[in-house]
Amino acid sequence: MRVSDKFQDKVRFIKPTRPAIGDVVLSPVHVAQNKIRGIETSLMLDTNILINIERIIKDGNKWSNVKDAGLHSQP
């Protein structure tokens, strides 16, 4: 049985155990601080973003492609 067959037609929900207060900037420092405090940091990636990143890399990894895809950070 392939992994994709095993999870086909199933929806998964993850309930956070801590309330988020506003937007949290996820950085290596933040993750390390959480680990020291015994807090698990989970990361879920949107496959659409991963597909966009793959296209950018295949197209030569140009900054203009990153901006066109909307994946650049905005002030």
Among 69, 72, 74, smallest CA distance to 56 is for 69
- Residue 18 forms part of a structural domain: no
Q: What is the pLDDT of residue 12?
A: 58
- Residue 74 forms part of a structural domain: yes
Q: What is the mean pLDDT of each run of 10 residues along the chain (75 residues)?
A: 53 63 79 88 80 88 85 71
Count of the separate structural domains present in the chain: 1
- Residue 63 forms part of a structural domain: yes
DSSP assignment of the chain: --HHHHTTT-------SS---S-----HHHHHHHHHHT--------HHHHHHHHHHHHTT--HHHHHHTT-S---
Domain that holds residue 57: 45-75
- Residue 5 forms part of a structural domain: no
Q: What is the pLDDT of residue 11?
A: 57
pTM greater than 0.75 (yes/no) = no
- Residue 16 forms part of a structural domain: no
Q: What is the pLDDT of residue 36?
A: 94
- Residue 21 forms part of a structural domain: no
Q: What is the pLDDT of residue 53?
A: 87
